[in-house]
Structure 1
Amino acid sequence: MKHYDAIIIGAGQAGVPLAKKMAEAGKKTAIIEKRYVGGTCINDGCTPTKAMIASAKAAYQARKASELGVMVSDVTVDLKKIKKRADGIVGIFKAGAENGIAETKGLKLYMGEASFIGEKEIVVKSKDGSEEKLSADLIFINTGAKTIIPDIDGINDVDYLTSTTILDLEEVPEHLVVIGGNYIGLEFGQMFSRFGSKVTILEQSPVILSKEDEDISKAVTAFLQEEKIEVITGTKINHIGWKGDQIEISESTGKKDKKIKASHLLVAVGRAPQTKNLGLENCGVETDEHGHILVNDKLETNVKGIYALGDVKGGPAFTHIAYNDYTIVYRNLIKNTDLSTKGRPVPYCMFTDPQLARIGLSEKQAKEQQLEYEVAVLPMKNVARGIETNETVGLMKAIVDKKTKKILGAAILASEGGEIMSVLQMAMEGGITSEQIRYRVFAHPTYTESLNNLFMKIHK
């Protein structure tokens, strides 16, 4: 059995930089990956999907160009070329991660599936059937999450797609049905609609994006429907099966039963932690009822010296959170800091067009917490930059503490919403008030400048 100072299970966005930093700090380190170095984000998450979304936006803008006096005829989409471009970007990013590991002295990469055989002992099973046993003083679990397949009658009898396998398509689907009306489902739904697919989104909740405020959910629904995407909410799927060469989905909405035929079906109802095959019972690491590894605010499990980072531990399932997990663990262990996850901001962005970017509390959450707050809302149709660029869909919304005027949260549904939200995040972290932003000097004409007008709703 080979002994290491540190072992990282999973070469994702927390695992790779952590492994490199541990090795650079003089610790003999191993990193284990069963699939692709770089994890979901690089290989079949953020990187390829956002590259393809850029192609979808280009097609959409070309069709809308006449509104700006530019005549573009015969807009066609070459999905093979789009996929080739996305795959090329993935290849560059993946190679960068692999080279970073290879060039780091004291760091060894094992390709295979890891499982615990003791408290600090691991077996790595390679695809060729060979096994290696490793042990370490410190072990970090960064195994991420995978698509949940809901228990729907007949679903396993059809060729459904996931957020991973849909990236393999080289022809635009004739009719794509998406099960799930949240971030992943909406991004793919709009993207393929812009590529030329007929798209239907099925969501069991009364609204899509049910965790967001009602006005945000309604605004997203409106722009999707404006693009001829069918959004069906409050639906129950009774059965899925083949009808000739089409997939038939039997669903009930209220008292109405309906059968929908589709050429392709995307399942996007959520993701589950990849802990089932880790053999956690052999090391004593505890999980919740969903399989997420339980950690404290220093990201350490109930077993001293074993940590969990990223999606596998539950909580916000975003790449940037996984990366921040790494920075907390690394600095605490190597630089002797005393950092924790308590109170850290959780920004996120859904890359529909317009983007939905969020930070802090929603109005719904502020109300639940019985806070004294004010709301500022500015429609994008009233934003100068939006009018000039023909990007007038959406709204800016901020929740402000009534007494202190500190910003409690914001939702920015706008072109480049993520960038605008980040300005407000910095204000929140710096304690800058809504009144200060109301009178702040921003460059003209920018989207950020309209934060003056947003907070004018409160500070007249």
Structure 2
Amino acid sequence: MEKFDAIIIGSGQGGTPLARKLAKKGMKTALIEKRLLGGTCINDGCTPTKSMISCAKVANTIQHSSSWGIHTEGDITVDLPFIVLRKNEIVQRFRHNILRSLEAEPNIRIIHGQATFSGVKKITVTQQEKPPLELEGTYIFINTGAATTVPEIPGIHQINYLTSTTILDMTVIPKELIVLGGSYIGLEMGQLYQRLGSHVTVIEPGMHLVSREDEDVAAVVRKMLEEEGMKIHTSSEPSNISTDGTTITMDIISGTSRKTITGTHLLVATGRRPQTADLQLNKTNVTIDEHGFVQVNDHLETSCPGIFALGDVKPGPAFTHVSYNDHLIIYHNLIEKKSISTLARQIPYCMFTDPQLGRIGLSEKEANQKGYPFKVAVLGMDKVARAIETGHTTGFMKALVHAATDKILGAAIIGEQGGEIMSILQMAMAGDLTATQLKEMIFAHPLYAESINNLFMTLDK
């Protein structure tokens, strides 16, 4: 039984920097990874998808270059094997950088294998072609992330369906891609392959796409995707899936009507589940909910003192930046004896469709639920000077302002560089700036940021 000051299970965007920080403080640290260093973000999520989305954006720009007076002759060709190779090289570079940073810390031991609890503070690591390792830790941190959820639809397990991981390694463009799920992953992947040459159909059981967003936001997202040729079915539930080996047939129920759609490939993007099943948490005092999420307090400690959880394995928004912030909270509280809570932190996020959807703070429906008195500032991107000049006028800017305090409650930005504009408003919220201050602030002309002046001017009308 080898003893460690800290055992971290999972090398995602929370576990890896935490390992480095604890090791620098002299703590003997074990970092256990069953698959690839870097977790979902580096290997299956942010890094590979955004690398490929950038290629699809170039393809789309070329296809519509005549809008800018640039004419190309003949059809463009898409070299998907090259796009996948480029993506893989970027992923490998990031993964290598992680390995190099970990190996630079003498107090870190990297262990590859499947971790399971054999006791409250005891871990067994099963390794390929090696005997199991028995570890004991003063502190244990669970950072095992989440995996794709596959809905129980009759016939789905007879289909060679794709996930957001497996589709990234395809080197042949799907002719007809059916996407199950109309949220962030499904829409990003759907638009990506539509732009590379697929005919994409999205099936979403909710009343509108991106169900957590306001209806006006979802309507703009739907319109921009349909204008690119994507077919979208909302309020639609698959009832059966079958294949003849070449064509996938899906029966869907939409209200009282039934439809049948066909495609050559199926992408399942219906959500993710926490990876806790293999941990054998029943051998600890760690509590999980009915979905398998590890329950934590607002300091990210589980029901078992000394065992913490960070990232997607716990409830809450499943974003890389949240996982990274989790490790900061744990580090500051554990090492610097602070008392930082998760309750008051901002949770920004961005959907990387093109244009982007950047979000911070409350949506309109959330503000109504909380009973806040508020005003809504809205400015179409077709009224933004920079957007007109660059030819990217799809979308709008929307901000909620407290009617009494003039403070910003939340914002949704759909537009070119929407995430970057949102980040400016996030910093304004963190600094307690008012809408009036932003309306009168000097921004360099003609940045997209300058449109923030005009956005809050709409409240004067």
Instruction: Note whether the superposition's TM-score is higher than 0.5.
Output: yes
Q: Deviations over 1:46-76 (max 9, x none)?
A: 0000000000000000111111111123221
Give the AA of the match of 2:231: E
After superposition, give the CA deviation of every residue in 1:170-209 in whole Å (9 maximum; x if it has no partner).
0110000000000000000000000010000000111111
1:339 deviates by: 1.3
Tell me the distance in 2 between the aligned counterparts of 1:127 and 1:226: 50
SS of the residue 1:277 aligns to: helix
Is residue 111 from structure 1 mapped to residue 112 from structure 2 by the alignment? yes
Query: For residues 139-154 of structure 1, what are the structure 2 equivalents within 5 Å?
Result: 139-154=140-155
Matching residue of 2:253: 252
Question: Is the aligned partner of 1:80 residue 2:81?
Answer: yes
3-state DSSP of counterpart to 1:140? strand
Which amino acid is the alignment partner of residue 304 of structure 1?
P
Q: Give the Cα–Cα distance (whole angstroms) in 1 for the partners of residues 237 and 17 of structure 2.
A: 43
Name 1:165's counterpart in structure 2: 166
**Partner secondary structure for residue 386 of structure 2:** helix
> What is the aligned partner in structure 1 of residue 333 from structure 2?
332
Matched position secondary structure for 1:399: strand
Task: Confirm whether residue 22 of structure 1 aligns to residue 48 of structure 2.
Answer: no
- The letter of the residue matching 1:335 is E
Q: Which amino acid aligns with 2:61?
A: Q
Q: 2:62 matched to which residue of 1?
A: 62
Q: Structure 1 residue 400: deviation in Å?
A: 0.4
Partner in structure 1 of residue 229 of structure 2:
228
1:433-448, aligned counterparts within 5 Å?
Answer: 433-448=434-449
Q: Distance in 1 between matches of 2:88 and 2:323?
A: 23
Gaps of 5+ in 1: none
CA deviation profile, 1:423-443 (whole Å, cap 9, x unmatched): 000000000000110111100
Q: Please say if 1:35 is aligned against 2:35.
A: yes
Amino acid at match of 2:459: I
Q: Are residues 1:46 and 2:43 paired?
A: no
1:92-241 pair list within 5 angstroms = 92-128=93-129, 130-241=131-242
Give, in angstroms, the shift of residue 336 of structure 1. 2.0
Q: CA deviation at 1:129?
A: 5.5
Rounded to whole Å, the distance in 2 between the matches of 1:258 and 1:130 is: 54
TM-superposed CA distance for 1:128, in Å, is 2.3
Question: Residues of 1 paired with 2:377 and 2:346: CA distance?
Answer: 21
1:338 is displaced (CA, Å) by 1.8
Amino acid at match of 1:442: F
Between the aligned partners of 2:364 and 2:345, the Cα distance in structure 1 is 19
User: The residue matched to 2:203 in structure 1 has which SS?
Assistant: strand
Tell me what 1:426 maps to: 427
Secondary structure class of the residue paired with 2:115:
strand
Note the C-alpha offset of 1:354: 0.6
| CA distance in 1 between partners of 2:245 and 2:256 (Å) | 27
TM-score, normalisation: structure 2: 0.99
Give 1:337 deviation, angstroms. Answer: 1.9
2:460 is paired with a residue whose SS is coil
Tell me which amino acid in the other structure corresponds to 2:242: G
Q: Take 2:256 and 2:109, find their aligned partners in 1: how far apart are those partners?
A: 59
Per-residue CA deviation, residues 148-186 of structure 1 (Å, 9 max, x unaligned), is: 000100100000000000011001100000000000000
Residue matched to 2:393: 392
2:418 alignment counterpart: 417
> How much does 1:370 deviate?
1.5
Write the distance in 2 (CA, Å) between the matches of 1:129 and 1:262. 44
On the 8 A contact 1:176/1:198 being kept in 2, the answer is: yes
Aligned equivalents of 1:384, 1:176: Cα separation in 2: 37
AA aligned to 2:167 is I
Contact 1:438 1:459 (C-alpha < 8 Å) held by counterparts: no
Higher alpha-carbon deviation: 101-110 or 349-358:
101-110
- Given residue 40 of structure 1, which amino acid in structure 2 is its aligned partner? T
Moved over 3 A (4+): none
Residue 316 of structure 1, CA deviation? 0.8
Letter of the 1:18 counterpart = L
* Structure 1 residue 102: Cα displacement: 1.3
Report the counterpart of residue 378 of structure 2 in structure 1.
377
Alpha-carbon deviation of 1:260? 1.4
Give the deviation of 1:349 after TM superposition: 0.1
Q: Is the 8 A contact 1:7 1:140 kept in 2?
A: yes
Q: CA deviation at 1:255?
A: 2.5
Establish whether residue 289 from structure 1 lines up as the match of residue 290 from structure 2: yes
Q: Are the counterparts in 2 of residues 298 and 329 from structure 1 also a CA contact under 8 Å? A: yes
How far residue 126 of structure 1 moved from its aligned partner, in angstroms, is: 0.9
Matches of 1:72 and 1:335, distance apart in 2:
60
1:348-404 deviations in whole A, cap 9, x for unaligned? 000000100100000010111121000000010111100100100000000000011
RMSD of Structure 2 on Structure 1 (CA): 0.8
Partner SS, residue 340 of structure 1? coil
SS of corresponding position for 1:237: strand
Partner amino acid, structure 1, of 2:2: K
- Rounded to whole Å, the distance in 1 between the matches of 2:445 and 2:52 is 31
SS at the partner of 1:458? Answer: helix
Structure 2: distance between partners of 1:326 and 1:254: 45
Q: Secondary structure at the match of 2:294?
A: coil
Report which stretch shifted further, 234-243 or 188-197.
234-243
Q: Distance in 1 between matches of 2:260 and 2:129?
A: 45
**Partners of 1:100 and 1:450 in 2: CA distance:** 41
Q: Residue type matched to 2:66 in 1?
A: S
Structure 2 spans left out of the alignment, 5+ residues = none
Report Cα offsets for 1:121-155 as digits up to 9, x if no partner: 00000122621000010000000000000010010
User: Which residue identity is paired with 2:191?
Assistant: Q
Residue number in structure 2 paired with 1:360: 361
Letter in 1 for 2:23: A
1:253 deviation in Å? Answer: 1.5
1:7 equivalent to 2:7? Answer: yes
- Contact map agreement 1:435 1:459 (CA 8 A) in 2: no
